[in-house]
Structure 1
Amino acid sequence: MSVRPDTAPRPASPREEDPRRVRSRARLLDAATTLLATGGADAVTIEAVTATAGVARATLYRHFANGTELVAAAFARLLPPAPPVPAQGDLRTRLVELLTAQARIIEEAPTPLTAMCWMGMGPGLRDLTSDGEEHARPELQSLREVLVERYRSSFDKVLATPEAREELGDFDYDLALIQLLGPIVFNSLATLPPLDRRACESLVDDFLAARRARRNGRPPRRNG
């Protein structure tokens, strides 16, 4: 008797994971994330995670090569979404809106800032390839890469555009991000009062003035 096509057994796709494996990884990440949020990176030990998750150590090592990789995955899980990118307005308006939103995220969610300080433990981006197992498993990627993908992408939509290049000329993109975000990160590290919109406007205005002065062949004016 022939088997109807819609009821014939199908071989499992190689991409389909064992549900038990999915559940055990989720339990491990739940435990690591809770420990990280309540006790910091030092609390995320192999012993503490396996005990909290009720998962064997051997199972943990099937998902994560070591404790550093586990902490990185937990950090990445706690990162809030990237700030929205304003769809309208000139370059100044869009940068002010984006920087104000980014400042609010950093001030209200200390975990990303902690991650920014901790991420130097991971490998450099240039050591990561675009294919192979390391790319297929997010936990093997550097936390630095996760941050770049999530937060830099918002600034790409404002700064890495023909309009921005036309107005600002050629500029060092990485340095521009440091100039804009550096004061916000330092402000949070120093536990100073949160930066408001007016402060973000000043940061953007100083950045734009310096870029326009350099493009016109004039050194930026200095106060004093």
Structure 2
Amino acid sequence: MAMSSTDGRPDHDDDVDPRKVRSRTRLLDAATALLESGGLDAVTIDGVTRLSHVARTTLYRHFDNVVQLRAATLERMLPPVVQVPVGGTLRERLIELVTRQADVINDAPMHLTTLAWLATAERDEAAGARVGSLRHRLIEQYRKPFDELFEAPEARALLAGRELAAVLAQLIGPIIFPRLTGIGYATRADCTRIVDDFLAATAVSGAKPAASA
């Protein structure tokens, strides 16, 4: 089955026509270069078409507007979204999900990933709503597998009344910190310890002990 691209358009046409693959790649290469050199505001229709040598009409076959182009550029620079594991106990699924997230974080070029996140930071009042909306969209995308996992009643009990965002900081923060500081990479053993510490803490705080079994 064909997957949808960042801009919501099906990718099967691009898979059939190599010219479309090449033109989209050139557009995103140019947009990435502009983002690295000048930030998100540098990614404009004129700038991308000029640098990529791809016609404006061709660009609009891939992206309806500059917002979609910027979103596709940022998502290209960020780690891929992981899938929710199926089967196993809640503990096993949570360990597997955190490990999968660690794997994509470990494999991602950290300077580009950091740049992509910084590019969505609100910098001024005029751009705040637009850029903030883009960051919200990306955050929702990356937290989706955890939303799905914590939909189950036994998993929801682990939240112990806290927001999922706070739980994600507890689970994913220890994975990101070593990468940002250059200390090292989180292994599966590290992810297992992070999850077990989280489950132990929720049990102490009053969550159902059976949830950590």
TM-score range for the pair, normalised by the shorter chain length: 0.5 to 0.7
Distance 1:27 1:143 in 2: 28
Residue 187 (structure 2) aligns with? 196
Residue 159 (structure 1) aligns with? 150
Residue 58 (structure 1) shift: 9.8
Assess if the C-alpha contact under 8 Å between 2:159 and 2:167 holds in 1.
no
Alignment of 1:210 with 2:196, yes or no, is no
Assess if the C-alpha contact under 8 Å between 2:158 and 2:202 holds in 1.
no
Assess if the C-alpha contact under 8 Å between 1:28 and 1:49 holds in 2.
no
- Give, as a single letter, the amino acid of the residue that structure 2 aligns with 1:180: L
Greater helix content: 2
Provide the TM-score with structure 2 as the length reference.
Answer: 0.65
Alignment of 1:142 with 2:142, yes or no, is no
Distance 1:205 1:172 in 2: 19
Residue 31 (structure 1) shift: 3.4
Residue 51 (structure 1) aligns with? 50
Assess if the C-alpha contact under 8 Å between 1:85 and 1:154 holds in 2.
yes
**Structure 1 residues 42, 165: closer, same or farther in 2, change over 3 A?**
same
Assess if the C-alpha contact under 8 Å between 1:29 and 1:73 holds in 2.
no
Sequence identity percentage: 33
Residue 86 (structure 2) aligns with? 87
**Structure 1 residues 45, 170: closer, same or farther in 2, change over 3 A?**
closer
Distance 2:66 2:34 in 1: 22
**Structure 1 residues 168, 98: closer, same or farther in 2, change over 3 A?**
same
The two structures, once aligned, show a CA RMSD in angstroms of: 3.9
* Residues 93-122 of structure 1: CA deviation (Å, up to 9, x unaligned): 111111111011011022444423332248
- Give, as a single letter, the amino acid of the residue that structure 1 aligns with 2:140: V
Residue 36 (structure 1) shift: 5.5
Distance 1:59 1:85 in 2: 36
Assess if the C-alpha contact under 8 Å between 1:31 and 1:49 holds in 2.
no
Provide the TM-score with structure 1 as the length reference.
Answer: 0.62
Instruction: Select 2:166's aligned residue among 175, 200, 203.
Output: 175
Distance 1:36 1:152 in 2: 25
Distance 2:106 2:161 in 1: 31
3-state DSSP of counterpart to 2:84: coil
**Structure 1 residues without counterparts, runs of 5 or longer:** 1-24, 129-138, 217-224
